[in-house]
Amino acid sequence: MDQKSNIQLDNLIEKVKELLVIQDNYKILDSNHLEILIDKDLLAKTAELLVNSSDLNASLITLTAVDSRKTERAYTLYTVFSINKLNCLLSLKTLIEEKNPSYPAISKVIPSLNWHEREIHDLFGIIPEGIELPPLVLHRDWHPGKNFPMRKDFPKDSQIPITEHELEFQGPHGEGFHQIAVGPIHAGIIEPGHLRFCALGEEIHKFDAQLFYTHKGIEKMAEGKTPEECLEISEHICGMCSFSHSVAYCLALETLANTAIPERAVFIRMVFLELERLASHLADLMAISSSGGFAFASAYSATLREVIMRINHELTGSRFLRGLNIIGGLQKDIPDKSFNNLTVKLEKFNTDFKDLEKLILNSDSLLDRLELTGLLPKEKAKSLGLVGPPARASEIDTDIRRDNSYLAYKRYKLNVPIYDTYDALARTQVRIDEVYESVKLIKNIIEDLPSGKISVEINSYLKLTPSVGFIESPKGELVHWVMLNNDGKILRFHVRSASYMNWMGVVQATMGNNIVPDGPLVNKSFNLCYACVDR
Amino acid sequence: MFNVFKLWITKDIVLEKVPDIKAIDVDSLLKDLSRIKKLDTNTRTALSRSLIIRHLDTGSCNAEEAELIALSNPFYDISRFGIEFTASPRHADVLTVTGPVTRHLKIAMEKTYNAMPKPKIVVAIGDGACNGSIYEKTYACLGRVDQFLPVDIYIPGDPPSPEQILKGLLTCKVLLAQKEKKNG
């Protein structure tokens, strides 16, 4: 496995050499991760070159900054690409001097990085030149001055006074236009966020959102913690996808420890990742049908979701699969008998789910709400960098379980549902198809379940080396970026969730020729986690 | 399960058994019922009354929200206890709060609490709200809920199961009746 990856890495180096001038400025971080040192003036151009190269087909997965003033006397920016074809990662490392913390913005050429750059500006005070920088993560009552919370000289628990302030939204003005403010506290049991519709009569002309209400500074919390302590934090980023988060984090740390976890642990992790996907997709279907006014299908999805949650509880003792993962494998083994039971239960689940599918797809009133609502054409979705089910509903053929091999997904043939109708119905259908795929996948994985150990001991980690955990969570691609300091504690922990990428998709889809009552439905057809976005 | 619904809708009768309820210990449930019979009239009256809840997420990881939503599913069916969730704090008896309080939600939380009529009850759900859990104090995270609001009932858990939440909410009914009596 390692040797094969190395060949692919050599391949990558050759291909990159064709595109860029690289001599000694590259470094091999691990068996499938290449790092290139790039000057800040060339950063945007290089990123554009890599993304547009048809040979590499690189996809930009995250951009993060590190306050490395102690070691490098400069801030460091890491732009991470995934080269799915070669199953490799490519990082561009850029040093940004302390005196003049600015660089030409990448989002001018790659718009999907807009939020990343604004976040780095808010938290680190590094200025991306050439784009507008309204506050994103920190709200308007935070007056930066010298208060950039992610800088190392900003004490962990120091706080800035809170003042009540007006939200600012741009939108058309004039006779007939009115703004509808929603949130941050919503009517139902959902997470907080402020949405603003600007409507002319019923029609939505402009839609915008103020998020990051549940921003807790988790990335700051993690700093200085041991890798094991940070695992618990990673599990508590989001409830809907807590297992995905912990797997992504563990993968990053296992790469740093240069360890392969036992086969059995790999397979059991895959079973639970898929169970989490089932639970999450059923919650999505529940939300979609209730927003469409179809209470019966909503209750039925809720019932099926509860079935999965109880299976989770029975197998692991936690309905949200917490406490199962450890760095190096699993906390406890689960007997084969329980897995055989699971197969039987899933058989019944599958027949029940067929009923639900019929219910949703044969109900004219619901279909009428879903069809042609919240259109998000392929080109737009691509430029926004959409991931996960909403991307597949916009005809983007992506699923990193198939494209990039982590755990043992490469062994199984995965049918990735792609729809070219771009509407809320397509997003519903993608989820329905994926539920069937996941059930099939779990059955196959259980058949192949190897026996043996479930964890390995880990002695040491690489220091001051970036590592990436990159997996397909229920909502889409999830990236965990970790770097340890010289004492083996967390220096920087960065999370880019799928919902973070998809939020602009919601905004764009809502604005596309919809009426105000469709707003919630479009939102629910994405059903993003706020906790994942805000952190 | 589907057939139960179908029969219920088409023929208005339920012939099949309710789905697998192994997870509930029937013996203790019966014991609980007999205990209810032994309760004094005040408590029994309190339990028979309705309870309206305004839910507030002050920065949770959304697991608690998922469990609160689960309470409305046909397994738990919280409305059979006369418990409903409302959109307006002005209609609410109870404020359920989840998650540690974040900087950005502090004002919204206070406004919601102040908008509720008296007597009001605050319930902290989940470890984040009850004791801060793993969420340390940072520039954006201010700490557990009872530093800002008077919490009456704590339902700890990571997250607490729907049964535990339900138990806490039933306790609210009794507490509410007591508070009403006290205020005359």
pLDDT in tens, B123-141: 999 998 888 888 888 888 9
Residue A4 has pLDDT above 60, yes or no: no
> How many Å lie between the alpha carbon of B45 and the closest alpha carbon of chain A?
28
Chain B hits for A215, CB-CB cut-off 8 Å, are 59, 102-104, 140
Question: Which two structure tokens, joined as six digits, stand for A527?
Answer: 């059903």
Please tell me whether residue A143 adopts helix, strand or coil conformation: coil
Please name the residue that has the structure tokens 């494209």. Answer: A403
Q: Considering only alpha carbons, which residue of chain B is nearest residue A297?
A: B2
Q: Which residues fall within 8 angstroms of residue A528, CB to CB, at 6 or more apart? A: A475, A498, A499, A502, A503, A506
Contact B135, B100 (CB under 8 A): yes
Residue B23 has pLDDT above 60, yes or no: no
Residue A356 has pLDDT above 80, yes or no: yes
Per the prediction, chain A carries an average pLDDT of 89
**Which of B23, B58, B61 has its CB closest to that of A236?**
B61
Q: Which of A75-79, A161-165, A244-248 has the lowest mean pLDDT?
A: A161-165
Q: pLDDT tens digits for B45-91?
A: 888 889 999 999 998 988 999 999 999 988 888 988 899 999 999 99
Chain B hits for A158, CB-CB cut-off 8 Å, are 139
Question: Counting every residue, how long is chain A?
Answer: 535
| B63-70 and B162-183 helices, crossing angle to 10° | 80
E strand intervals along A235-368: 325-326, 329-330
Rounded mean pLDDT, A259-275: 92
B95/A86: higher pLDDT: B95
> How many Å lie between the alpha carbon of A345 and the closest alpha carbon of chain B?
11
Per the prediction, chain B carries an average pLDDT of 82
> How many Å lie between the alpha carbon of B27 and the closest alpha carbon of chain A?
20
Contact A86, A55 (CB under 8 A): no
Contact A306, A299 (CB under 8 A): no
**Which of B104, B106, B138 has its CB closest to that of A156?**
B138
Please tell me whether residue A237 adopts helix, strand or coil conformation: coil
The one-letter amino acid at A180: I
A202/B30: higher pLDDT: A202
Q: Which of A85-94, A225-234, A263-272 has the lowest mean pLDDT?
A: A85-94
Q: What is the pLDDT of residue B115?
A: 93
Residue A5 has pLDDT above 60, yes or no: no
* Domains of chain B listed by start with CATH number: 1-38 (no CATH), 50-183 (3.40.50.12280)
* Domains of chain A listed by start with CATH number: 2-129 (3.30.460.80), 179-210 (no CATH), 218-534 (1.10.645.10)
Chain B hits for A149, CB-CB cut-off 8 Å, are 138-140
Read off the pTM: 0.90
Q: pLDDT tens digits for A274-331?
A: 999 999 999 999 999 999 989 999 999 999 999 999 999 999 989 999 999 999 899 8
Q: What is the pLDDT of residue B3?
A: 53
Rounded mean pLDDT, A55-66: 88
Q: pLDDT tens digits for A48-60?
A: 888 888 778 888 8
> How many Å lie between the alpha carbon of A240 and the closest alpha carbon of chain B?
6
Q: pLDDT tens digits for A466-483?
A: 999 999 999 999 999 999
How do beta strands B51-57 and B83-85 pair? parallel
First to last CA, chain B: 47
Banded model confidence at residue B182, pLDDT cuts 50, 70, 90:
confident
Question: Which two structure tokens, joined as six digits, stand for A356?
Answer: 């639900």
Q: Considering only alpha carbons, which residue of chain B is nearest residue A185?
A: B56
**Which of B67, B69, B102 has its CB closest to that of A216?**
B102
Q: Which residues fall within 8 angstroms of residue B26, CB to CB, at 6 or more apart? A: none
Residue B104 has pLDDT above 50, yes or no: yes
Please, what's the b/e burial string for B3-12 (b: 16 or more CB within 10 A of its CB; e: otherwise)? ebbeeeeeee
Rounded mean pLDDT, A378-396: 91
- Please choose, from the candidates A261, A230, A251, the residue with its C-alpha nearest in 3D space to the C-alpha of residue A328: A261
Q: What is the pLDDT of residue B25?
A: 59
Q: How far apart are CA A73 and CA A96, in angstroms?
A: 9
Q: pLDDT tens digits for A107-157?
A: 889 888 999 999 999 999 999 998 888 888 888 888 777 788 898 888 888
Mutate to test the interface with B, among A136, A214, A311 (most CBs of B within 10 A): A214
Strands of A177-182's sheet in order across = A177-182, A194-200, A203-210
Banded model confidence at residue B122, pLDDT cuts 50, 70, 90:
very high
Rounded mean pLDDT, A62-91: 89
Q: What is the pLDDT of residue A446?
A: 93
- Contact between B108 and A213 using a beta-carbon 8 Å cutoff: yes
Residue B6 has pLDDT above 60, yes or no: no
Virtual CA dihedral for A399, A401, A405, A406, nearest 10 degrees?
Answer: 130
Q: What is the pLDDT of residue B45?
A: 80
Other CB atoms within 10 A of residue A157 CB:
13
Q: What is the pLDDT of residue A208?
A: 86
Q: Considering only alpha carbons, which residue of chain B is nearest residue A357?
A: B2
- Provide the ipTM: 0.90
Q: Considering only alpha carbons, which residue of chain B is nearest residue A359?
A: B2
Q: Which residues fall within 8 angstroms of residue A130, CB to CB, at 6 or more apart? A: A104, A105, A108
Chain B hits for A303, CB-CB cut-off 8 Å, are 1, 19, 73-75
Q: How far apart are CA A145 and CA A364, in angstroms?
A: 56
Contact B127, B157 (CB under 8 A): yes
Banded model confidence at residue B178, pLDDT cuts 50, 70, 90:
confident
Question: What single string gives the DSSP state of each residue in B1-51?
Answer: -HHHHHHHHHTS---SPPP--TTS-HHHHHHHHHHHHHS-HHHHHHHHS-E
Q: How far apart are CA B116 and CA A363, in angstroms?
A: 40
Q: How far apart are CA B128 and CA B56, in angstroms?
A: 13
Q: What is the pLDDT of residue A404?
A: 82
DSSP state of B82: T
> Is A3 buried (19+), middle (13-18) or exposed (0-12) by CB count in 10 A?
exposed
Peptide bond into A474 cis (omega under 30): no
Rounded mean pLDDT, A478-489: 92
Residue B95 has pLDDT above 90, yes or no: yes
Q: How far apart are CA B55 and CA B92, in angstroms?
A: 9
Banded model confidence at residue B15, pLDDT cuts 50, 70, 90:
very low
Q: Considering only alpha carbons, which residue of chain A is nearest residue B59?
A: A214
Chain B hits for A184, CB-CB cut-off 8 Å, are 104-105, 108
- Contact between A214 and B60 using a beta-carbon 8 Å cutoff: yes
- Please choose, from the candidates A431, A423, A432, the residue with its C-alpha nearest in 3D space to the C-alpha of residue A521: A423
Q: What is the pLDDT of residue B21?
A: 45
- Contact between A319 and B72 using a beta-carbon 8 Å cutoff: no
